[in-house]
Every structure is written in C-alpha cells, then in structure tokens.
Amino acid sequence: MLTQRSRNGALSICTCVLFSVRGECLNGGTSVPTLTTRELLFCLCPDGFKGKHCEIDTRVLCYEGRGMYYRGTVSRSESGLPCQEWDLDTRVRYMASDVNKGRHNYCRNLLLKRRPWCYVRKNQELVWEYCDIPRYKPAPTMSEPSPESPSCGVRTKGKMMKIVGGMVSTVEAQPWMAAVFWRSKTKDRVFRCGGSLISPCWLLTAAHCFPDGSQTKPRHFSVVLGKNALNKTDLEMEQNFRVEEIILHEGYDNSEGNFNNDIALVKLKPKGGRCAVESKSVKSVCLPPTNQSLQTGLNCEISGYGKEKHGLWYRSQVLREAEVQVLSDETCRRDDHYGDMITRNMFCAGRPDWSQDACEGDSGGPLVCEVGGRMFLFGIISWGDGCAQENRPGVYTRVSNYNEWIQNKTGLPFVNPGPLFPIK
C-alpha cells in the first residue's frame, strides 16, 4: 500500500490508489475464497479502503494529472449538486476497476476530459460538471526549474529588417506565436488576437480577446501556428486548428478599465489524435515559476501582428517584434504613469526613449524573456494608453501569478516553483 507519494524527496499530500486486474486483494485486504473453487469471493478491507478488491481509497483527497486513475468517493460537482449514478453500460465500457463493486455515483474522468467529473441534474436536464476535487501537488523542492517540454523556449533566429518601432520578424524567431481568428457572420475569417503556444494543445492569450465572455462559442474561432504574414499562407510552415475550448479567467474584470486577470486558455482541437507538431516554425514557450518577479531593466521581447503606430486604420500584415525593458512596479504606479490602475496581476514594460511598444492588434501576444538560453513567457500583451507614448508603457498580464490556474484548467505538468533569478 502506498500512503504517500515521493517526488525528488518531497512528500505529497495525496494517497495513491491501485486497482486489481488479477482478482487480488489490494491495500492490505484479506482474501476470503469460496469453499468450492477457492476463487476470490470478496476481500476484508482495512480502514480507509473498500470495494471488492479493496481498490477504493476513501481517504483520497486529490487527483493526479487528469485524474484518469482517481478512485476516491467524492460524489458532488463543483456547484454542489449530487452526482448521478453511472449506468451499467458506462461502467462496463469505461470502469474496469469499478464494475465488480456495482452501482455508484463517484466522480471519475471518462472520455479524456481535463479532470474528474460526473453527471448532475440541472433544470430537469442531465448535464455534466467537473467535481470539486483538488489536484495533486508535490511539496516544494529546491531543485532547479525544468521546462515543461525538453525543447520549450528554444528557437532559431531568423533574418530581420529594422523598421520604425520594431523589426519585421520571422516566425522561427517567435515559434510559439499563434494567430487567433474569428469567423464573422458573413463567414469571413478575421484576425482577432495573438497567443502563445504553451503545450501541443494549449494556448495562452488575453481574456479581453473574447468580449462575449463565458458565452463565447469556440466553434467560431480557429488558430494558425507558424504564420509569418496574415495576408499570406505557407502550407509548409503553418499548422491550422479549430478551437475545442476557450477558458476565461473567472476573475477577469474590466469594470475599472484596466483588464484585471486578463488571461485566457484556448484548447486546440486535435487532428488525427494530435495537436501541434514541433518544427522550426512551431514550438512551445516555457512557463516561469510561480510568483517569479522580473528584474527591473531586464530586456524582453514582444511580438505580434498589430498596428505599426497608433492611429493607423490598418494593422501590420507581417509578424513584428520589439525589445522592451521591464519597469519597476513603483514606476508603473506613479501618478504620471497609471497610478492605482496597476494591480499585482500586471507589470509594465517599455523603452527608455518610448520608441517601441505593443499596439492595437497585438493583444494576447507574448512578452518573453531569455533565461539560460530559453525563452519564458512572463507576460501577455494586455493594454496601454496609446502606443509608444511617453509615460504610457505597455501593460502586461503577469503570467507567473497564474501557474496554479493554468495547471488546474489544463492538467499540464506541474511548473517547478524554484526561482529563476536571485531574489533581492
């Protein structure tokens, strides 16, 4: 029996659950055989376990990964509604470890959803909801940060040409760059926002890119990866996807005009069982450790397809990038900057001469900083007063504040909590 799980010497808060495929008693259970064939009749289970094989750990408090092997007994949804019993066909087809113990209404993760869920009755209809079960977290360790993917944040710099307010970039220099398109009522495909690829199936972007909020319909959106120009298509470099799911942060709020919690997740719809395929023009970006602060004056990069300067009626048709410096929170909150509009979920960046900045149409795109030869997504282009105006730097969503949210919504591997920079 495993009552605690160890990772790098750290003990977790969860118990592990095994299930039997050979008719054995698990977790210290005592076998009770039949008198005639001596085959297993049932198991006498120790405290904390039940089921024909003692495979159900009633003390399980959380799930790991996507919860595919969760075997606890939580039976209420996030909204507090009681779960409905799984029908026999579902148990036979999807619950090999649960079939022998009969009917139940415990939360499970069937059909490869993000985490354990169940059916509930809401307004006389049978609908599914996720369950209120915390996700497994290992205890913090002092190990060095490791990227989510061995190749995250690595790129091949392409040729650039200097132009006013930034540089024309090649997508190989920003291979995590995503273009989010909206399908209009006339069926035209309209560019909506930028985004950043954080795993093969998930993008991070800005919540304000979806003005319909929770009513946003994913089927109206599509994503193109590896795109150099909005008005050109390169079939060898680009990868196109429909959108399966859009998740806006629950705390997103623009009532004060400052786009607080301006972050959203976009899930790509797999094709042939897979999403983005890594190439020179398509790679994921690394995520920073939780609550990691950026050093004032650090040079970082922004990229997007937005307008080349404020006031233009058209946006750039090509991918552009610019270098900006991180400003201190004190500077950004000065009265001649943005004052108390800046929350702990934001930071500012700009150029000392105010010559380069994000602009309209760049929203949702990345602000990346290089650490140890890899690029980390520290910011999401969010808002600002004009473009490249004095004392009006760009404002960015502080991605490192949202690691737990990203993990809970996507089921992606845990982001290491170790610091990237010396803490001063």
Any catalytic annotation for residue 262? yes
C-beta contacts of 93-101 below 8 A and 24+ residues apart: 96/19, 96/21, 97/19, 97/20, 97/53, 97/55, 97/71, 98/51, 98/71, 100/51, 100/52, 100/53, 101/50, 101/51, 101/52, 101/56
Q: What are phi and psi of 332, to 5 degrees?
A: -65, -30
DSSP-assigned letter for residue 121: E
Are residues 319 and 295 in contact, defined by beta-carbon separation less than 8 angstroms? no
Q: What are phi and psi of 172, to 5 degrees?
A: -65, -25
Q: What are phi and psi of 369, to 5 degrees?
A: -130, 140
Radius of gyration of the chain (CA): 25
Which residues, in sequence order, are CB contacts of 291 under 8 Å at separation 6+? 400, 401
Any catalytic annotation for residue 208? yes
207: burial class by Cβ within 10 Å (0-12, 13-18, 19+)?
Answer: buried
Coil, strand or helix at 90: helix
Give the start-end residues of each E strand in 271-419. 299-304, 320-326, 346-350, 366-371, 374-383, 394-398
Using alpha carbons, select from 306, 390, 291 the residue that is nearest to residue 344. Answer: 291
Q: Which two tokens stand for residue 394?
A: 């760009």
Of the candidates 208, 222, 284, 400, the residue annotated as catalytic is 208
Which residues, in sequence order, are CB contacts of 27 under 8 Å at separation 6+? 1, 18, 45, 46, 49, 54, 55, 57
Of the candidates 222, 284, 316, 363, the residue annotated as catalytic is 363
Which residues, in sequence order, are CB contacts of 403 under 8 Å at separation 6+? 287, 288, 289, 290, 415
Of the candidates 57, 98, 262, 362, the residue annotated as catalytic is 262
Q: Which two tokens stand for residue 389?
A: 């105006």
Give the whole-angstrom CA distance, residue 277 versus residue 315.
Answer: 29
Q: What are phi and psi of 397, to 5 degrees?
A: -70, 130
Using alpha carbons, select from 213, 183, 182, 186 the residue that is nearest to residue 195. Answer: 182
Coil, strand or helix at 92: helix
3-state helix, strand, coil in the chain (%, to 5): 10, 30, 60
Are residues 288 and 408 in contact, defined by beta-carbon separation less than 8 angstroms? no
Catalytic residues: 208, 262, 363
